[in-house]
Amino acid sequence: MRLLWDWLHPVIQVPYVPTIGPVHPDALTLALFDDVLRVAGTGSFLPYDKDQRWTETKDETVLPDHIEHTSARTLIPALRSRGSGTLTVYTYGPAAEEAASLAAKLTADHHVSTARVVTFHGPDETPPAGTAVTRVQMKSFAHPRIEDQPGPIRTVDALPQPTRETFAAFADRLTSDGFAFLHSQMQSGSVGPVLAATDGARVVGAIGPMETMPDSAGATRLLPQYFGVLPEHRGHGHGRALWRAAMAWGATHGADYQLLQTEIGGASDRLCQAEGLRSLGFVSVTKL
C-alpha cells in the first residue's frame, strides 16, 4: 500500500502516527507513515520509537494489506498480539462507521478479543462523549525558564538508603499507574534516573524515568514518564514540584520538547494546562 500525502495530510487532525503515537508537528511527514509500513510484521523498532525502552521486539504492527485510503479518509488497522490480542483502526477523516466495520471484520479474521477505533479531534474541537479521551500536549524547551521548585526533589538513587527502600511500597500502591513495572526496570538498571518527592523518610511521589531520544527529524525529545503522588499526599505541591524538576532535567539535558497524553480533566491534565503546555488536539478511543 502506497499512501499519498495529498490525500492523508489534509485529514490529519492531530500529529499522531499509528504504532508510534504523537509526534512533533514539524516532524509529521509522509516518511513517518512509510517507515511504519516498511517495518510492519518484522518486530523491529524504528530508531525513534520510544517503546524500544521496554522490550526487545515491537508488539504492535500495521496491517498494510487492509489499509483503506481515499482522498476523503484513511483507515490504518494495526494488530497487537500481547495477551489475547487487540485490533485497532486508526481513523483519519470522518469515517467512524467504516472504521468500526473494518475493526469488527479484522477482529474476527485474526481471532483477537479486543477491537478499538481511534479517532482524532483538533485542539478547538469537542471530543465525542462516551469515549476514552486524552489530550496531546507539548512542552517546548526552545526558551527554557528557570524552573521554580517549591520542594526538594532528588533522584531515588540519591536518597538515604532507608528512604530509598520505601520506594518499593510506594510503587506497589501505585501499581495501576505503572510504578510496579517501573520499579522492576529500575532494579534491573535498564532505565534512566527517577525523581522522587519525600515526606519525612518516605517516598510519596515520583516521576521518571528521565530519558531523551532523537526524533525522526533529529530533534531531542524528552520521553514520557510515569508520574504519580500517593493519594493522601496530593494537594500539597508535590506533583508540581516533581513536574518542574523533571522539566528542569529536560532543559539541562538538551531536550527540545516533550509530548504527553493526559486524561481529560485528570490531575496531570490540569497541571499541564496550568503550566502552559500547548494542546495539539485529542485522541478518542472507542472499544467495540
Q: Are residues 79 and 155 in the same domain?
A: no
Q: Are residues 154 and 222 in the same domain?
A: yes
Task: Assess if residue 18 is contained within a domain.
Answer: yes
* pLDDT confidence of residue 49: 95
Task: Assess if residue 271 is contained within a domain.
Answer: no
Whichever domain contains 150, its CATH number is 3.40.630.30
DSSP characters over the chain: ----HHHHGGG--S-EETTTEE--GGG--HHHHHHHHHTTTT-PPPTT-GGGGT-SS--EEE-GGG-EE-SS-EEEEEEE-STT-EEEEEEESS-HHHHHHHHHHHHHHHT-SEEEEEEEE-TTS-PPTTSEEEEEEEEE-SS------SS-EEEGGGS-HHHHTTHHHHHHHTGGGTHHHHHHHHHHT-S---EEEEETTEEEEEEE---EEE-TTS-EEEPP-EEEE-GGGTTSSHHHHHHHHHHHHHHHTT--EEEEEEETTSHHHHHHHHTTPEEEEEEEEEE-
Q: Are residues 130 and 163 in the same domain?
A: no
Q: Are residues 180 and 115 in the same domain?
A: no
Q: Are residues 183 and 237 in the same domain?
A: yes
At which of 101, 117, 135 does a domain end? Answer: 135
Domain membership of residue 175 as a residue range: 143-255
* pLDDT confidence of residue 143: 56
User: What nine digits make up the cell of 194?
Assistant: 527517577
Q: Are residues 49 and 106 in the same domain?
A: yes
Q: Are residues 110 and 199 in the same domain?
A: no
Q: Are residues 188 and 160 in the same domain?
A: yes
At which of 83, 111, 135 does a domain end? Answer: 135
Q: Are residues 104 and 19 in the same domain?
A: yes
* pLDDT confidence of residue 150: 46
The pair phi, psi for residue 36, each rounded to 5°, is -60, -40
pLDDT digits (tens, 9 = 90+) for 45-73: 999 999 999 889 999 999 999 999 999 99
* pLDDT confidence of residue 151: 55
Task: Assess if residue 267 is contained within a domain.
Answer: no
Q: How far is CA 146 from CA 149, 224, 239, 244, 278, in A?
A: 9, 21, 18, 9, 19
* pLDDT confidence of residue 1: 76
Task: Assess if residue 262 is contained within a domain.
Answer: no
Q: Are strands 86-92 and 114-121 parallel, antiparallel or unpaired?
A: parallel
Give the count of domains, the chain.
Answer: 2
Q: Are residues 111 and 154 in the same domain?
A: no
Q: Are residues 159 and 130 in the same domain?
A: no
Task: Assess if residue 30 is contained within a domain.
Answer: yes
Q: Are residues 14 and 118 in the same domain?
A: yes
Task: Assess if residue 260 is contained within a domain.
Answer: no
- pLDDT < 70 stretches in the chain: 143-151
